[in-house]
Structure formats: structure tokens, C-alpha cells
Amino acid sequence: MAWMFSSLLQVSLFCLAISGVSVSGATFSPVLPPSYPLAVRNPYLSAWVPGNQVANLATATPQFWQGQNLTWSVLARVGGTTYKLFGAPAALSSSVAATLMSAEYTSSHSVFTLAARDVATFTLDFFSPVSPKNYVRQSLPFSYLTVSVDAKTASKVQIYSDIDETWTGQSGATVSTFTKSGGVTLFQLSVNGAVQYSENARSQALWGQTILGAKASTGITITHGSGTPSAIRAEFASNGSLSNAAPAFATGNVVAISQGLGSITSGSVTFGIGYVREAAINYLGNARTGYYRAQYPDTLSALSFFFDDYADALSESKTSDSLLVQKAVAAAGTNYSDILLLTTRQAYGGSDLTIPNDTLNTSDIMVFLKEISSDGNVNTLDVLFPAFPIWYVMSPEYLRFLLEPILQYLETGRWKQPFAIHDIGTHYPNATGHDDQVEEDMPVEESGNLILLAYAYITATGNTAWGQDYLSIFTKYADYLVTGGLNEPVQLATNDCCGPLANQTNLAIKAAIALNAYGKLFGAENYSSVGLSFANQLFTNGLGLDSAKTHFKLQYGSNVTYGKDSDYAVVFNIFPDILFNLGTFPSSAFDMLASYYPTQQGQAGVPLDSRVDWSSTFWTHWAGAAGAKQTGGVEVRDMFIDNVWAFMTNGMNTPPFSDRWFAVPGSGGLIGGTGDVVGAFDTWRNRPVVGGHFAVLALDGPGQF
Ligand SMILES: *[C@@H]1O[C@H](CO)[C@@H](O)[C@H](O)[C@H]1NC(C)=O
Ligand SMILES: *[C@@H]1O[C@H](CO)[C@@H](O)[C@H](O)[C@H]1NC(C)=O
Ligand SMILES: *[C@@H]1O[C@H](CO)[C@@H](O)[C@H](O)[C@H]1NC(C)=O
Ligand SMILES: *[C@@H]1O[C@H](CO)[C@@H](O)[C@H](O)[C@H]1NC(C)=O
Ligand SMILES: *[C@@H]1O[C@H](CO)[C@@H](O)[C@H](O)[C@H]1NC(C)=O
Ligand SMILES: *[C@@H]1O[C@H](CO)[C@@H](O)[C@H](O)[C@H]1NC(C)=O
Ligand SMILES: *[C@@H]1O[C@H](CO)[C@@H](O)[C@H](O)[C@H]1NC(C)=O
Ligand SMILES: *[C@@H]1O[C@H](CO)[C@@H](O)[C@H](O)[C@H]1NC(C)=O
Ligand SMILES: *[C@@H]1O[C@H](CO)[C@@H](O)[C@H](O)[C@H]1NC(C)=O
């Protein structure tokens, strides 16, 4: 399949060239995204570089996901001349900015190739492994930066990287420690006296340690230094090495590592960058730590292993990167593949894979997910639900690891409502529950989500015993849906920005499917019949339809605001009916949707419902996947995918993959300001919900990797 990959790449490069995205002669494959992931592994290790800066990579400024600048520079010296490769300030006397030749992203690498005059070519490979079945590898809070060089003639080459306290979340209180042991060179920066589990105002963790490290290997001379950036960079530029001094850290300083390759024509060096939290998560008052700590209980041993694991991690990534391209292209073409490759690190990078900090019991795995950007809630059920297709496709066990902390909390009885909880903590990393019963209630939404996620996990893995363990919880929420799933009091659903409403058609569709799923999962046909009767009323009897029966309205009932024929909703909740082949809704419902959605296509997409001017990248993937097997459904699926691709590549945006954009001009109505710019992203960045882009691929079945 390799031939397929490369010929498709050429096609999309050709498209780029004609659409003018080729900047200053560099090529971008598969496309130029809004932002490139550099070190993206968990909610607190999330460094990116905006796409509009990479043409000048040598002086680009990387950012934390929320947009604040990070200092992270890379310099190289060839035969005595210093070249700026990345993140290096304009003013470094007598140095030469290398020129970008190409930029590429895969699902785990962002790779930049630069020319240092005609003397050498450098490749910077920012590699954040996505290895959800290798729990040690996945939980390590580090990323690789490998710098490779090809020189025209044998020359002395040295490569340098530095960082500063922009990574610690609080300047002015930084403590630096330096360790050289077992071949590992390690700087750790932390905030003196930081409060455990606290964040700064821009979402950076304060209580851990930022690390920059390297490991000795044959033929490479490692030196280190710390001081003002001008002094340390000048020292590297003039001497090609650092003085091995690590004085007390002062604000404004950098810590730096240089690796000398000797006289060579080609070679490479690797740096590790990371953010370590021993107490990673506060789960109901108990500290949980990274899974890796069962084997590597301290930062030095973990980092040493991380370097030793490089070849295996690289080989795994090459296999899964190309498998993903192959599967995505086969499922829905190159636009789809381009989207999934940019999605993967962000989706897995929203979570931490943990075990208890005290027992380090590796059978007690829990994954915690941060509702990044929207509010910081922990394991929000209506974030797990939209994101679940990525785990379903790549690592179904994750579904259990994500649900365990919720279910174990519900089992304590401390959550007293008759419906499922929204999340298990108001702000990551404090998964402390809601004993006060105060949270953002979404009764039908979360009750349906929990049942459908359990259905996804159990059917993907065959672990029916687990379903029995929590049967009473699932039954309680199924009973809630029987009562409240069709005659729905005013309540919020997942698009909470739009306010609470009664009788939301899309929500009732979820209730119907969840009840049928519960019935099938636990052999309780009477629940399935309630689900089928909801579906029958909503669709066949037309309760949820407009009078001409062309689409589902936003609301149904006699006393609702958005129940007019012109009101519609993209009913993404219908997708699990197709994915799980439940048959809750007849095939004609999906035919109707396939005919309807194209009629709502606006300037840059289909607004998510008739109130709003924006669309959602992941929910429209769900809607596209739902109809993909119907007549006309492939065209609708591709319309939704192409809309997201156009948004991702329109050159108007620079944050990490935003999942919401303005699809039509704002009308100044309820939700749709007149200043909204069509094609621009709307507020959110780096949310793990993008995992929902895997919905189309999920149709090929669970556990494909
Ligand atoms: C962040 O970096 C950009 C690009 O180098 C620069 O223009 C901007 O002023 C920086 N912002 C701050 C707050 O330092
Ligand atoms: C987590 O809880 C601790 C202890 O109550 C608090 O100090 C910290 O600020 C909280 N973290 C966040 C991000 O809210
Ligand atoms: C280069 O190394 C020499 C000898 O170690 C040292 O005296 C000198 O200060 C270094 N140069 C710079 C610019 O730091
Ligand atoms: C986590 O475990 C380590 C090693 O046993 C211990 O030193 C540390 O205090 C623990 N942290 C918390 C917050 O319990
Ligand atoms: C480890 O965790 C598993 C799963 O929670 C539990 O069944 C087992 O008893 C635990 N083992 C120990 C030694 O605590
Ligand atoms: C389904 O049948 C079971 C067993 O008889 C009963 O406990 C449950 O209440 C019934 N549920 C519904 C929705 O009919
Ligand atoms: C919601 O739908 C139910 C069932 O059709 C209906 O009885 C109820 O009146 C509707 N509520 C509103 C506010 O229209
Ligand atoms: C219609 O809904 C409004 C707002 O929810 C409510 O105040 C009113 O009593 C309802 N009218 C009827 C006839 O149910
Ligand atoms: C990708 O999407 C764009 C923009 O919507 C569309 O013009 C193009 O034809 C699509 N490319 C492929 C290969 O489907």
C-alpha cells in the first residue's frame, strides 16, 4: 500500500500548489494545518506551532495549546557556522536562519526539513507517540525531538536546544535542578512552593516539573549550560559546546543542552521534552500517577527508558501512521485522511493513563480526560461520547478505563440524582465528584451517553462480565430514559451554549437508541420496545418531523419555540443506531436525512441547527457517518468531510484543531453574532472531542489497530 500513499500525497501537494498554499517554495504535506502538534501527550504537555509561522520556522514561536508563547529553540553549528533551525530569536549575531523546504505531519510526527545554505539539510522530527495499547509508552509524559543532518561534505556538527520558564506556568519563582546520571543529562524546572494540583490562569500545570534531557550514545558529546539566552546561545555559537555549568536559575534564563556529532556527513541526535506530575490526578482524594511509574518510579529512570525505547516507538509509529492513512483513504478518501492525521495526537493528548500512586497496582487503570478549552471538567460524559469513535477504532479498552472512574464514583452512592452525572470534577486534575449535587445537569444526554458508551465497550471487547458488574447503574439510567426520554422537561443537552429546551428531537433520538441498546445488551426486550416506540412516534408517526416529512425539527410538541417546519437539527445522535446496527429507526429515516442535509449547506458548511451560524467538526462527521450506507449517503458524508477539510486548510486560523467554525454569516440572532467571520474558528481549541472524526472509520468495526 506504500505506493498508494505516496501517489496520493503527490495529488494533494499538487492541489496545494494550485490553491497557492505553497509558501516561499516550501511544500506542505499532506496540507498546511492551522497548527502543528510538537509535543502533545497530555493536557499539560501540549506544545504547538501555528501553521502561519512555519514558513519561517527558524524564528517561529511555539505555543502552549491556549496560545501563550513558549521558549524552545534549536540551533545547529556546521563547520563553525551557526544556523537557526527553530524558535530562535532574530538577534543572534553572525548566525544564519535555515530555510524551510518542507513540512509534513502524520498521526504522531511533525517533520520539518530545512536547508542551511547549501552546506547541509536538517530535519526536525517532533515525535509524540500515540501508543494506546502499550500503557508504559502511552503514559510517559515526554516527547521526542530528533534533529538529523545531511552535510555536503564531512563537517563538525553540533546541535543545541534550550527552554525557559515559560514552560513552568509561573515566571519569577523557578527552581532548576540538574542531574547527570546513567548517561542521562536532565534539567528539571519547577515552581517553588506551587500548590499541588493547581493550574495558572492559562491552563498550565504548576505543581510538576518541566524537563529537558538527552541521553549519551556512541560518538555524541553532550554538554549543558544555563544562563541568559544571549550568553548561552553565544557560547554555543562560538564554541560549539557549553561549559557544563548549571548555576541557580534566574528569571529570564534558559537551560540548554548541546550535542556534538563530531565530523560527519550525516547523523542525528534526540532531545526529550516533557512535563512530569508524580501526583498526576486527584481521584476522590487519592493521588493517581502515570502507569509508567510502576516500572520507572522516578523521572530519571523513566526518561532513560524513554530514550532507550526510541527505536521501538518509532517503528510502531511508522506502522500505525501508514495504517491510518491506508484505512482512512480507503474509508473516505484523502481529505478524510488529512483530517484524521491531525486529530490523533490531540484526541489522545487530552488524557492521562493512570494507576494509584500508593499501590502502583497496574490492574487498577483509569484514564482521565480533560474537557480542554471549554471548561476543564473531568471525564465529562458528553465529551467522552462524541470522542469515543477514536478509542473504539484504536483502543477499545480505553472506553472502560475512561468509564471506571465515573462508575466507581456512582457506585459509592454519593451522586444522588436519578440521572447520570455530567462529569466527575469541575476542574482537572481534581476528580473529586459532585457530592454537593451541583453540576451542569444534562439528564437525558448523560444517561443515554453512559449506556451507549457501555454498549460500545462491551460489544467491542466481549467483556460482558464488566457490564454485569455495573448492571444496576445502567438499569437505573435506562429507567430514567423510559420516563423522561420522550416527554422531556426543559433541560440542557450537549450544545449547552444554546440554552435549555424541552423536547429536543435529537435528544429523544438518543434516548430511543440507548433504550434499544440497553435492551439488546442485557436481554431486556421490554426496554428495546420502549426505544422502538419512541422512534416510531418521532419518525413514523411524524412527531419529530416537519409537516412535509423532509427532516427532523429541532423540537417537537405543542408548546415549543423551535418546532416550526423551518427549524431543524443535525441529528448526530442517530449515528450509534447505524454503528451498532440496532435498527431502532427504519432505513427510510436515514434516506430522509441524506436528502435533507445538502439543502442546508451554506457558504462554509451546515450550521448545526437552525438557531446557529456555526458548525461542528465532530458532530457533522457523526451525521455523515450515520447516512454513509444510504442512497446518496456517500455524497452527504463527503460533503461534511470536505467542509471540515476546507475549514482546516483555509489559512484563516492558527489554533490547535478547533472543532467549531462559522459556516454561514451571523444574523445577529440568538446565537450568531453579526461579527462572526465565515470560515473562522469559534472559540474552542485543542478539545479531545475531535476523536469523533473517527466516526466514519468506526463503521469498519472496533479494534482496527
Ligand atoms: C509571542 O510570540 C509572537 C511571535 O514571535 C510575538 O509576536 C508576540 O509578541 C509574543 N507574545 C508575547 C506575549 O510575548
Ligand atoms: C485542585 O484542588 C486543589 C485543592 O483543593 C486546589 O488547590 C487547586 O487549585 C485545584 N486545581 C484546579 C485546577 O482547580
Ligand atoms: C568558549 O570556551 C572557552 C573555554 O572554555 C571560554 O573561556 C569562553 O568563555 C567560551 N566562549 C563563550 C562565548 O562563552
Ligand atoms: C506518591 O507516591 C510517592 C512514592 O511512594 C510518595 O513519595 C508521594 O508522597 C506520593 N504522593 C502523593 C500525593 O500521595
Ligand atoms: C489491583 O486492582 C484490581 C482492580 O481494581 C483489584 O481487583 C485488585 O484487588 C488490586 N490489587 C491489589 C493488590 O490491591
Ligand atoms: C422490564 O422487565 C423487567 C423484568 O420484569 C422489569 O423489572 C422492568 O421494570 C421492566 N422495564 C420496563 C421498561 O418495562
Ligand atoms: C413534549 O412531548 C410530549 C410527548 O409528545 C408532550 O406530551 C409534551 O406536551 C411536549 N412538551 C411540550 C413543552 O410541548
Ligand atoms: C408553555 O411554555 C411556557 C414556557 O415554558 C410556559 O410558561 C407555559 O405555561 C406553557 N404553556 C402551556 C399551555 O403548557
Ligand atoms: C477536499 O475538499 C475540498 C474542499 O471542500 C474539495 O474541493 C476537494 O474536492 C476535496 N478533495 C478530495 C480529494 O475529495
The pLDDT value given to residue 497: 85
Give yes or no: residues 383 and 424 share one domain: yes
Give yes or no: residues 620 and 573 share one domain: yes
Indicate whether 319 belongs to any domain: no
Q: Is 524 in the pocket of ligand 6 (CB under 6 A)?
A: yes
Strands 281-283 and 430-431: parallel
What are φ and ψ of residue 483, in 5° steps?
A: -80, -45
The last residue of a domain, from among 277, 309, 341: 309
CB burial of 210-239 (b: ≥16 within 10 Å; e: otherwise) equals: bbbbbbeeeebebbbbbbebeebbbbbbee
Give yes or no: residues 441 and 386 share one domain: yes
Q: Is 558 in the pocket of ligand 5 (CB under 6 A)?
A: no
Q: Say how many domains are in the chain.
A: 2
Which residue is closest in CA terms to ligand 3's atom 2? Answer: 239
Name the residue of 444, 481, 486, 487 whose CB sits within 8 Å of the most ligand 7 atoms, as the mutation to test its pocket.
487
The last residue of a domain, from among 269, 285, 309: 309
For residue 64, give its domain range.
Answer: 2-309
Which residue is closest in CA terms to ligand 7's atom 7? Answer: 487
CATH number of the domain enclosing 523: 1.50.10.10
For residue 366, the cross-strand partners are 354
Q: How far is the CA of 688 from the centre of ligand 1 (A)?
A: 26
CA gap 672, 682 in Å, rounded: 11
The pLDDT value given to residue 415: 98
Give the model's confidence band at 1: pLDDT under 50 very low, under 70 low, under 90 confident, else very high.
Answer: very low
The pLDDT value given to residue 91: 77
Indicate whether 683 belongs to any domain: yes
CATH number of the domain enclosing 135: 2.70.98
427 CA closest ligand 2 atom index: 14
530 CA closest ligand 6 atom index: 13
Q: Is 282 in the pocket of ligand 4 (CB under 6 A)?
A: no
The pLDDT value given to residue 10: 34
Cβ contact 273:212 at 8 Å:
yes
Q: How far is the CA of 497 from the centre of ligand 7 (A)?
A: 23
Give yes or no: residues 431 and 297 share one domain: no
Give yes or no: residues 251 and 359 share one domain: no
Give yes or no: residues 301 and 382 share one domain: no
Q: Is 296 in the pocket of ligand 2 (CB under 6 A)?
A: no
Q: Which ligand has its closest atom nearest to the C-alpha of 429?
A: 2
Q: Is 69 in the pocket of ligand 1 (CB under 6 A)?
A: yes
Give yes or no: residues 304 and 372 share one domain: no
Indicate whether 543 belongs to any domain: yes
Which residue is closest in CA terms to ligand 9's atom 7? Answer: 642
Angle, alpha carbons 36-37-43 (nearest 5°): 140
Rounded to the nearest 10°, the torsion over CA 161, 130, 204, 654 is: 80
Cβ contact 538:531 at 8 Å:
no
Give yes or no: residues 141 and 66 share one domain: yes
Amino acid at 19: S
Q: Alpha carbon of 109 to those of 43, 106, 318, 664: distances in Å?
A: 18, 5, 9, 34
SS (H, E, C) 91-146: CCCCEEECEEEEEEECCCEEEEEEEECCCEEEEEEEECCCCCCCHHHHHCCEEEEE
The last residue of a domain, from among 309, 337, 357: 309
Q: How far is the CA of 197 from the centre of ligand 2 (A)?
A: 5
Q: Alpha carbon of 198 to those of 205, 207, 370, 701: distances in Å?
A: 6, 6, 14, 40
* Percentage with pLDDT > 90 across the chain: 93
**Res. 20: pLDDT tops 60:** no
**Res. 199: pLDDT tops 60:** yes
Helical pair 505-521 and 471-484, crossing angle rounded to 10 deg: 140
Q: How far is the CA of 48 from the centre of ligand 1 (A)?
A: 14
Matching residue, cell 557544563: 244
**Res. 53: pLDDT tops 80:** yes
Helices (H), 258-333: 299-308, 310-332
Which residue is closest in CA terms to ligand 3's atom 14? Answer: 235
Q: Which ligand has its closest atom nearest to the C-alpha of 236?
A: 3
Give yes or no: residues 347 and 283 share one domain: no
What are φ and ψ of residue 142, in 5° steps?
A: -130, 155
Q: How far is the CA of 477 from the centre of ligand 7 (A)?
A: 21
Give yes or no: residues 300 and 346 share one domain: no
- Give the model confidence (pLDDT) of 469-528 as tens digits: 999 999 999 999 999 999 999 999 999 888 999 999 999 999 999 999 999 999 999 999
**Res. 19: pLDDT tops 80:** no
Q: How far is the CA of 559 from the centre of ligand 8 (A)?
A: 6
Q: How far is the CA of 430 from the centre of ligand 2 (A)?
A: 6
Give the model's confidence band at 631: pLDDT under 50 very low, under 70 low, under 90 confident, else very high.
Answer: confident
Indicate whether 705 belongs to any domain: no
Q: How far is the CA of 526 from the centre of ligand 6 (A)?
A: 6
196 CA closest ligand 4 atom index: 13
Indicate whether 703 belongs to any domain: no
* Percentage with pLDDT > 70 across the chain: 96
Q: How far is the CA of 487 from the centre of ligand 8 (A)?
A: 14
Residue 382's Cβ-count burial label (10 Å; 0-12, 13-18, 19+) is buried
For residue 653, the cross-strand partners are none
Q: Which ligand has its closest atom nearest to the C-alpha of 69?
A: 1
The pLDDT value given to residue 24: 62
Q: How far is the CA of 558 from the centre of ligand 8 (A)?
A: 9
Give yes or no: residues 356 and 270 share one domain: no
The pLDDT value given to residue 670: 60
Give yes or no: residues 17 and 79 share one domain: yes
Indicate whether 121 belongs to any domain: yes
Indicate whether 585 belongs to any domain: yes
